[in-house]
């Protein structure tokens, strides 16, 4: 398992196929921005090029998207209808593609018609020792046989402030151990799962939600909201791999 340097992407080479994992693309977000009075061109093509570059660099054979591939809810926007089908078809020329449905992905099956994309339900899926889930819903029962839960949804980021009051927000990774007691209460049996990894958003227009205590942000999703991850021992890393401390200390 490798966290790609300066990229919000994870490479898994322990599986039968080298697998690239990304989350929260929110394709079509520019339509919402347009409705608020700011006009920017569709970014699906740029996102696709970034992904294809990563596929080429890593020689990945499979791409797993952890949900919120599209942005607009509850409907599919004109921008999504025009750009996402070709986005998927072009990716399928290079790799196998699996997409787990996120809370923004209603109707995504219509956008994947005629492509290789396999759409998975919101509870996610297991691949060997890894379990993949968007994060807005509980993982399925197969989680108990996996070692690592990989999820998105929370858009984790850290906010830095200097003495003059200037601030910047940057995306981050969160890695935390399972709370065995709460895991057992939820799933009713001894689980093999030992770690939860929360993936930052792939969309460069989204800086993320600050996880600093002073920002008062609550990590989203039932797994984190119900304490299945040990917050006191969870570690936070920037995209360049810098360890900046434990979650509880930020």
Mind listing the pLDDT tens digit for each residue in 173-196?
A: 999 999 999 999 999 877 889 999
Task: Give the pair of three-digit tokens for residue 14.
Answer: 């322990």
CB 99 within 8 A of CB 108: yes
- Note if the pTM is more than 0.85: yes
What residue spans define the domains of the chain? 2-249
The answer to which of 45-49, 128-132, 206-210 has the lowest mean pLDDT is 206-210
Cα distance between residue 206 and residue 160, in whole Å: 16
Mean pLDDT of 3-7: 95
The answer to which of 85-89, 155-159, 211-215, 232-236 has the lowest mean pLDDT is 211-215
Q: What is the mean pLDDT of the chain?
A: 90
State the fold for domain 2-249: Purple Acid Phosphatase; chain A, domain 2 (3.60.21)
Instruction: Write down the pLDDT at residue 117.
Output: 95
pLDDT in tens, 66-125: 999 998 887 888 888 888 999 999 999 999 999 999 998 888 999 999 899 999 999 999
Query: What are the two backbone dihedrals, phi and then psi, of residue 187, each rounded to the nearest 5 degrees?
Result: -105, -5
pLDDT at 216 over 70: no
The answer to which of 3-17, 59-73, 211-225 has the lowest mean pLDDT is 211-225
Confidence of residue 37 (pLDDT cuts 50, 70, 90): low
């Amino acid at each position: 398992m490798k966290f790609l340097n300066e990229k919000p992407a994870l490479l898994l080479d322990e599986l039968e196929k080298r697998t690239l994992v990304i989350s929260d693309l929110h394709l079509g977000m520019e339509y919402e921005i347009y409705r608020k009075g700011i006009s920017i061109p569709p970014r699906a093509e740029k996102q696709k090029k970034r992904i294809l570059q990563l596929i080429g660099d890593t020689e990945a054979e499979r791409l797993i998207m952890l949900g919120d591939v599209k942005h607009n809810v509850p409907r599919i926007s004109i921008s999504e209808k025009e750009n996402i089908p070709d986005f998927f078809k072009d990716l399928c020329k290079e790799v196998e593609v699996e997409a787990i449905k996120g809370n923004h992905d209603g109707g995504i099956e219509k956008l994947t018609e005629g492509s290789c994309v396999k759409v998975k339900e919101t509870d996610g899926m297991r691949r060997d020792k890894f379990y993949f889930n968007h994060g807005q819903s509980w993982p399925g029962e197969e989680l108990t046989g996996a070692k690592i839960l990989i999820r998105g949804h929370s858009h984790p980021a850290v906010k830095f402030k200097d003495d003059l009051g200037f601030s910047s927000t940057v995306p981050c990774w969160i890695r935390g151990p399972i709370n065995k007691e709460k895991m057992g209460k939820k799933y009713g049996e001894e689980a093999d799962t030992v770690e939860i990894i929360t993936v930052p958003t792939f969309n460069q227009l989204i800086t993320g939600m600050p996880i600093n205590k002073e920002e008062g942000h609550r990590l989203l999703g039932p797994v984190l909201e119900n304490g299945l991850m040990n917050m006191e021992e969870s570690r936070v890393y920037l995209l360049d791999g810098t360890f900046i401390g434990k979650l509880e200390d930020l």
